[in-house]
Structure 1
Amino acid sequence: MLRKLRFYYLLILALLKKEWKKVSLSVLLLLLAVFIFFAFAPFLQSRIAQTTNKLIKPLYSEAVVGKPNTFNPLFSKTESEKEINSLVFRGLMKVSSQGVLESDLAKSFRVKSSTEYEFTLKQDVKWHDGKRFTASDVVYTVKIAQNPLYESELSSNFRDVEVNKVDDYTVVFRLKEPFAPFLTATTVGIIPSHIPLNKYRPVGTGEFRFINVKESEVTLEGAKNKLKFKFYPSFEAALTALKLGEVHGLANFPSQNNGLANWDNFEIEEKVLPFRLVTAFFNLRDEIFADKLVRQAFSYAVPKEELLKIGKGSKGRVALNSFSLLDTLQKEAKEKYLFNLEKTNSNLDVAGWVLAGDGKRYKEGKKLAFSITTVEDSEFEHTALKLKEAWEKVGAEVAVNIVAGQELKNQIVPNRSFSVLLTSQLLNPDPDQYVLWHTTQTTEANVSGITSPKLDKLLEDGRKNLDEKVRREKYQEFARLLLDEAPAIFLYYPRYVWVHSNRITQVDLKNFLEPQDRFAQADSWVINRPIW
């Protein structure tokens, strides 16, 4: 054995001495080839990905926390249901990237009177199964939403609304009384009339169509790519799937979770949600917060900018009133309750809450003590603790009560069993806020329970008058009076965090308003595949 090894060793030495020039040149060429390969690998990978994407539709997969129960836009309740359905179904109108309403399935519309709207439909639209989209589908959708047997959450959008088909591509809505925000109601996704509910399958007219529906995942297909949503029971399970490479992305990432900042191979996209408003609601049925002076006092004690300093910096936007971030009523507003502890202490003194030697305030022997209730969520918990810290500095004793989402929705809010509720409001492009603050809504969305004839009248006038100038004046006065009453503290518009693999390139979020808008430019994405 040793003789053979010695023989081959000597043979190799002899060859190297004899052909050293050729051997050296070969080694140099090999090293050069390896260098060129690695130097141009990113370019080659991108080129190969683009070429492959043209031949085979690329697939983007995303982890979703929780399993959707329906793929019918009339019955969507959860965030994931609404997002997925919005990709498949379209409405007569939609919200543009500037936050204003524009035509979608409707070619045009005409306001014939303060109670009558006529829509002319696009004639080149087909359902994903090839059937023509017509006025019959619009009438069918509204009738289903209105039917109390189906308990659609959208039923109130079409209450006392009569809808009629004029011809295949014309539909007329007649309202019982003027309702200025009506066009917002027509953004609801239209469902096909040729598929009865008892045999329902999700067939839409949107940019994506369902091609596979399973218990654990659904797959959508667009013109240039596919989207797969895989369902996980918890955020921790979804995050594990992302780390293991089971999925490309994870949306609605908690702002407090900054661990990904140090991850390689991932991109973190962050955008402000202009129609989501994080708000601290005072319960006006509570003895403490029935006093406007107390509500105003605690409003002055909140340093809003500090609430936004999550992780490495501020990514949300401070709110100045109850309107959306895109509304001119918000853009032109000024902060009424600038951080001012002197005013806080003065108001509490006048309200009879006297500061004692133990650093706490008392009134007629009762301690100024209450709790902040919020949902299990790292961002809300962070904000609640910041409020607790701010309010305890002025003599209050504050507890933080963290509850599960279902408990908040089904028990805490309906029973109004809270002192201060920290949650987020969903706002519309239209400035109408009747359901949020009108006296008749105190058992519904009017969470604080405020009752004010002046506010009620402004809200009523604002939704009955179609003159935009008049409406603007009404809502300006409403905003002023609501802030003075201080039934809530309008804190900030939160940021939305989406984490995805850096193999997903050419992502464009310039038109982002709602979570589903991250897919608005999905056709232009390039999904790079490893080439070794």
Structure 2
Amino acid sequence: MNSLIPKSRAALLAGTFALAALVLPPRMAGAQDLTIAIGGSVTSLDPHFYNASPNHSAAAHFFERLTDFDSNAQLRPALAESWKPVAPDVWEFKLRPGVKWHDGRDFTADDVAFTIERAPNVPGSPGGFGAFVRGVKRVEIVDPLTIRFHTPGPYPLLPVDFASLFIVSRHVGEGASTDEYNSGKAVVGTGPYRFSSYTPGNRVQMTRNDNYWGGKPDWASVDFRIISNPGARTAAMLSGDVDIIDTVPTSDIPKLKQDPKLQVTSVQGLRLIYLAADRSRDENPVFVTDNDGKPLPKNPFNDLRVRRALSIAINREALAERVMEGTAKPAGQWLPPGTYSYNPDVKVPAYDIDGAKKLLAEAGFPQGFKLTLHTPNDRYPNDAKTAQAVAQMWTRAGVQTTVEALPWSTYSVRSNRQEFGIRLLGWGSLTGEGSYALVNIMGTYSQETRFGANNSGRYSNPELDALTVKATSTLDDAEREKLLQQAVKLAMDDVALFPLHQLVNTWAVKKGLKHEPRMDERTRAMDIKPGES
């Protein structure tokens, strides 16, 4: 797989593309409607509220970014036509002319400046976007279509960071609350579709933006449905009620492939399924007790021996082959082989039940202890089944484990409030390189440094933070990769998280439609083309 971050510094820093590179293929005419069904719940239409894949997928129809990733996780222009460093600590972006907001107002550099201000400061955000503007020290508007970003020092990843940040307008967004985005009042973007309605937990409906700068969109209307139950999602696909579904249940793939009216598309994904232990408490850990159900005085997850024991008590090969039925690869780190900053010296932890028991005894738990593993039951393929399998493995090692499975809409809020002892999560490194996870899910949580926005377990390792900062300020690609590989080893030696497996992204699509599967697992109307009429 090609990495996002090229091997030559020039290739990344040049970042200047001809306009022709973004000319889109001709659009097909026709008033056609599209119905999409996704498994994950869209928790908000505020594009800066929660950094979660379902929210990204929905928001991408209305809002756009300065830069973007294509289906193979390669960086490309979007609202910015080009970008380049004009000093070691200054990036200049040239914005696309002629772009209009849905209400007809011009898109300008002032909207970008407003977005930089707003993104890290959304009230009540359970996991926001501060990390993607942490490299911006000061914004300088040169003219309506030229903007410069002053960074604290050399920062080569700014164009990459901006590919995760939707741009909102100042004239609509200033003072607008998340509730106003959810009502649709503030959903005024530059994207290919306009807001029609949003019913939380049910659907987002949208209509074509005929004045879209990239050309007339293919679909007159899009019904973006949320069907969290895997069986119901498959049934909707088989009955013809929907045109495409994501996160196809692994057990249903053979049946869907055999249906002559359907096709299955897939691609190796960038999402890691992992476990995160609560490190926010030194004493009185939640959902962890001794074998008699009495509270433990100290948090066992703060003991490296316990973390290593739990890690080697997991049979990752069995999870990938049996639970995931071959649709996932066992993981010992957060990126798949072949990506930039993957460390070949960090192996998948070998399953060793006796070694796990020995480590637990050394940590003062010769008889183990009890814990509850929390998991969503409607977010990732086989999420609850994976948690049940891990619980059985840990129980065999002497850690009596029960599972509590919750809907994602409830689970995500509680997880980000540190209400769980240990939980199952997923993280898609859509940049195709290691710093995205290091900053967001392993960086020490800090509003000041804007690290750890999605670090729900509150893991903290100052040595790892320092190495991450050093890597992300290193201009030379080869040297930066070495530093990131060191960070991968440091994080995994410390069991910063428990990697389980990397997903293969799979969709079922009506025969005749053309679907381009994405490594970042987004499901969007823009990636689905009508068949030949």
* Fold similarity call, TM over 0.5: yes
Report the secondary structure of 1:526's partner residue.
Answer: coil
| CA positional deviation for 1:166 | 0.5
Which residue number corresponds to residue 274 of structure 2?
279
The answer as to 2:490 corresponding to 1:474 is no
Which residue number corresponds to residue 370 of structure 1?
371
Paired residue type of 2:218: K
Whole-Å separation in 1 of the counterparts to 2:120 and 2:495? 35
The answer as to 2:124 corresponding to 1:157 is no
Matching of residues 347-496 of structure 1 within 5 Å: 347-351=359-363, 353-354=365-366, 362=367, 367-377=368-378, 379-418=382-421, 420-429=422-431, 430-432=433-435, 433-441=438-446, 445-496=454-505
Which residue number corresponds to residue 516 of structure 1?
522
Whole-Å separation in 1 of the counterparts to 2:302 and 2:173? 50
| CA positional deviation for 1:374 | 1.4
Change (3 A) 1:516 1:400: closer
Question: Which of 162, 166, 176 is residue 186 of structure 1 equivalent to?
Answer: 162
Whole-Å separation in 2 of the counterparts to 1:329 and 1:140? 33
Whole-Å separation in 1 of the counterparts to 2:274 and 2:521? 19
Matching of residues 74-153 of structure 1 within 5 Å: 74-75=48-49, 79-127=53-101, 131-145=105-119, 153=128
Q: Is the 8 A contact 1:324 1:428 kept in 2?
A: no
1:387-428 deviations in Å (ceiling 9; x for gaps): 12323333332222223334433334423531x322112435
1:175-215 deviations in Å (ceiling 9; x for gaps): 34555543333222223445465695544434x22274475
Unaligned segments of structure 2, at least 5 residues:
1-26, 209-215, 286-298
The answer as to 2:347 corresponding to 1:335 is yes
The answer as to 2:36 corresponding to 1:62 is yes
| CA positional deviation for 1:368 | 3.3
TM-score (norm 2): 0.73
Whole-Å separation in 2 of the counterparts to 1:426 and 1:280? 14
Q: CA RMSD in A?
A: 3.7
**What is the aligned residue count?**
458
1:105-162 deviations in Å (ceiling 9; x for gaps): 2222122334321112233544456554332332233344356679693345335632
Unaligned segments of structure 1, at least 5 residues:
1-52, 355-361
Change (3 A) 1:224 1:233: closer
| CA positional deviation for 1:470 | 3.3
Q: Is the 8 A contact 1:388 1:400 kept in 2?
A: yes
Matching of residues 2-17 of structure 1 within 5 Å: none
Change (3 A) 1:90 1:64: same
Report the secondary structure of 1:322's partner residue.
Answer: coil
Whole-Å separation in 2 of the counterparts to 1:293 and 1:70? 40
The answer as to 2:312 corresponding to 1:316 is no
The answer as to 2:304 corresponding to 1:292 is yes
Whole-Å separation in 2 of the counterparts to 1:268 and 1:233? 18
| CA positional deviation for 1:490 | 0.9
Change (3 A) 1:501 1:169: same
Paired residue type of 1:154: F
Change (3 A) 1:415 1:150: closer
Paired residue type of 2:425: T
Whole-Å separation in 2 of the counterparts to 1:266 and 1:148? 41
Change (3 A) 1:527 1:304: farther
Change (3 A) 1:119 1:150: farther
| CA positional deviation for 1:456 | 3.1
Whole-Å separation in 2 of the counterparts to 1:347 and 1:482? 19
Question: Which of 144, 151, 165 is residue 175 of structure 1 equivalent to?
Answer: 151
1:45-75 deviations in Å (ceiling 9; x for gaps): xxxxxxxx96624322223568857545334
Return 62-71 or 300-309, whichever deviates more.
62-71
Paired residue type of 1:205: T
Question: Which of 492, 507, 516 is residue 515 of structure 2 equivalent to?
Answer: 507
Whose helix fraction is larger, Structure 1's or Structure 2's?
1
Return 384-393 or 66-75, whichever deviates more.
66-75
Which residue number corresponds to residue 190 of structure 2?
205
- Higher RCO, Cα 8 Å, sep 6+: 2
Which residue number corresponds to residue 291 of structure 2?
none
Q: Is the 8 A contact 1:63 1:250 kept in 2?
A: yes
Paired residue type of 2:490: L
Paired residue type of 1:437: M
Whole-Å separation in 2 of the counterparts to 1:272 and 1:227? 30
Return 429-438 or 237-246, whichever deviates more.
237-246
Whole-Å separation in 2 of the counterparts to 1:342 and 1:247? 49
Change (3 A) 1:256 1:445: same
| CA positional deviation for 1:171 | 0.5
User: Who wins on radius of gyration, i.e. which is larger?
Assistant: 1
TM-score (norm 1): 0.73
